Amino acid sequence: MIHENYSLKKLNTFGIEASARYYTECSSIDQMIEILSQKPFVNAQKLILGGGSNLLFTKNFDGLVLKNNLKGIELIKEDKDFYFVKAGAGEVWHTLVMHCIANNYAGLENLSLIPGNVGASPMQNIGAYGAEIKDHFFELEALHISDKKIHTFNNATCKFGYRESVFKREFKNQYIITSVTFKLLKNPSFNTRYGAIEKEMEAMGVKEINIQAISQAVCNIRSSKLPNPTEIGNAGSFFKNPEVTSDKYKSLKVQFPSIVGYDLENGNVKLAAGWLIEQCGWKGKTIGDAGVHKLQALVLVNYNNAKGSEILNLSQQIMDSVKDIFGVDLEREVNII
């Protein structure tokens, strides 16, 4: 069914009031092809909606919003070292993670409780606590919007980067991801190098590390730091952690001895965007109903009825002040519509 002038407020985790000129939900690839082939939508703007957790609507969408409801999680094959688990793009990400943990498929435990759906995970190359999708990604299938055919992408052809993939760059708005397959470990390789995980497991009284304990520790940490979108509108981390040269980092370290940075394989240093924002005095600040969360400066929030444009303006003020004080450019992680 096609709806006209459909409210998207409950379909984006910021809780921004915006409407779609046309809106529909698809639970099969055949449905998608049928709708995309209809004359009014062939040349219309299209927005593929998953969990709505990485979007900021600053205006109504004058086109077709298609909600991807493709479901299903299955073990499609295994060998002596790996399980290959395929999930529909419309599955909730955390549901997939919990399914894998319940079955002892290792690899996604550090990515527990990340909001959003499976289809968005490779688009963003989502990551947390020292892990990224690309570490255990095998392949995905995607429907080409123009030719209506299913194409397969492997790790290399996705061109993963930091919160990046080919679907955010040269193939932006050209494909609908329909399924994602992960290559998960039979013999876990525990990733606890982020100190907070070890500290939390210690507080939990964990005697023997396993993927269940790591997942619970990550859930505890995220819940203590990040606001629940069902209670306070937000899209998780609003900004990417910026990358600077080692020389730039050394000069910043002289000026700001407590600056937080992580060495990268390419010789550059990744800075903690939350720390930079907090040093600029933004943590906990509000402008109208738009604000910066009191516990995590990376998270912008809608406290009641903020407009998307107000949150966007707040983000620009934050970016300007970080640039003024540190000479560092912040980049938004959230997609602006």
Q: Round to whole Å and give the CA distance between 181 and 154.
A: 10
- Residue 20's alpha-carbon distances to 49, 146, 300, in angstroms, are 11, 21, 24
Instruction: Report whether 88 contacts 46 (CB < 8 A).
Output: no
Q: Could you tell me the residue ranges of all domains in the chain?
A: 3-68, 73-185, 233-336
Number of Cα atoms under 13 Å in the Cβ half of residue 243: 9
Report CA-CA distances (Å) from 109 to 127, 168, 177, 213.
11, 25, 23, 9
Helix (H) / strand (E) containing 150: strand 150-154
- Residue 200 and residue 213 in contact, taking contact as beta carbons nearer than 8 Å: no
Question: Do residues 97 and 125 lie in contact, with contact meaning Cβ atoms separated by under 8 Å?
Answer: no
CATH top class, domain 3-68 = alpha beta
CATH C-level class of 73-185: alpha beta
Neighbouring CB atoms inside 10 A of 79's CB total: 9
Instruction: Output the CA–CA distances (angstroms, integers) from residue 9 to 20, 112, 116, 313, 337, in the order listed.
Output: 10, 25, 16, 20, 14
> Which residues on adjacent β-strands are paired with residue 55?
335
Catalytic residue numbers? Answer: 163, 237, 333
Query: Is 246 exposed, middle or buried, given 0-12, 13-18 or 19+ CB atoms closer than 10 A?
Result: middle
* pLDDT in the model for residue 195: 65
pLDDT value of position 124: 86
Fold of 233-336: 3.90.78
What's the rounded Cα separation, in Å, for the pair 275 and 286?
A: 18
CA count, 13 A, side-chain hemisphere, 29: 16
Joined together, the tokens standing for residue 336 give 């602006």
Question: pLDDT truncated to tens, each residue of the chain (337 aa)?
Answer: 899 999 999 999 999 999 999 999 999 999 999 999 998 888 889 999 988 888 999 999 999 999 999 999 999 999 999 999 999 999 999 999 999 999 999 999 999 999 889 999 999 898 888 889 999 999 999 999 999 999 999 999 999 988 889 998 889 889 999 999 999 999 888 888 776 888 888 888 888 889 999 999 999 998 888 888 888 899 888 999 999 999 999 999 999 999 988 888 888 999 999 999 999 999 999 999 999 999 889 999 999 899 999 999 999 999 999 999 999 999 998 889 9
- Measured between alpha carbons, how far is 135 from 126 in angstroms, rounded to an integer? 11
